[in-house]
Amino acid sequence: MKILYICTHNRCRSILCEAITNASNGNIEARSAGSQPVGEVHPLSLKYLAERGFSTGGLQSQSWDEFEDYDADLVVTVCDSAAGESCPVYFGKSLKVHWGLEDPSKLEGSEQEKARPSTTPSILLKSV
């Protein structure tokens, strides 16, 4: 099964989902993309993943245009703004779902406060 996680900037939520899904046992391949990618993965996303033993190799902020030939079985939008956007026509055959997650890049406070149990990275990483 191929899963494509989409978030507007493809630097936090979709990246976390990609790495965690790819670490699962099973026949699942996950990728992530953004409608308006910023071009870099958020440093705290990489830090949280590495601290918990997830591979960060190959993670990158990239456009959904790069996945025209990916043929995803499932497209998951993980931010409200991406959910409201029109997906490219080449995702037409894919099942599309929305999973609204808080944007960890917009959290304020110390690094410890950003990693509190109720934040998106903590929730995602605790669930595995």
Q: Which of 7, 41, 59, 82 is catalytic?
A: 7
Above 60 in pLDDT, residue 95?
yes
Q: Which of 4, 6, 72, 79 is catalytic?
A: 79
Tell which residue, 103, 91, 96, has the closest CA to residue 10. 103
Measured CA to CA, the distance from residue 90 to residue 4 in angstroms comes to 12
What pLDDT shows up at residue 68?
87
Average pLDDT, the chain: 80
Sign of CA dihedral 12, 48, 66, 96: negative
How much of the chain exceeds pLDDT 90, in percent? Answer: 34
What pLDDT shows up at residue 97?
84
Q: In the structure encoding, which two tokens stand for residue 80, read together?
A: 């409200």
To the query of whether residue 12 is one of the catalytic residues in this protein, the response is no
The Cβ of residue 89 has, within 10 Å, a number of other Cβ atoms equal to 7
Cβ atoms of 15 and 61 within 8 Å: the answer is: yes
Sign of CA dihedral 85, 76, 13, 39: negative
- Reported confidence tier of residue 117, pLDDT bands at 50, 70, 90: very low
Domain boundaries, the chain: 2-126
Give the CATH number of domain 2-126.
Answer: 3.40.50.2300
What's the whole-number mean pLDDT along residues 89-101?
77
C-alpha 102 chain-centroid distance: 12
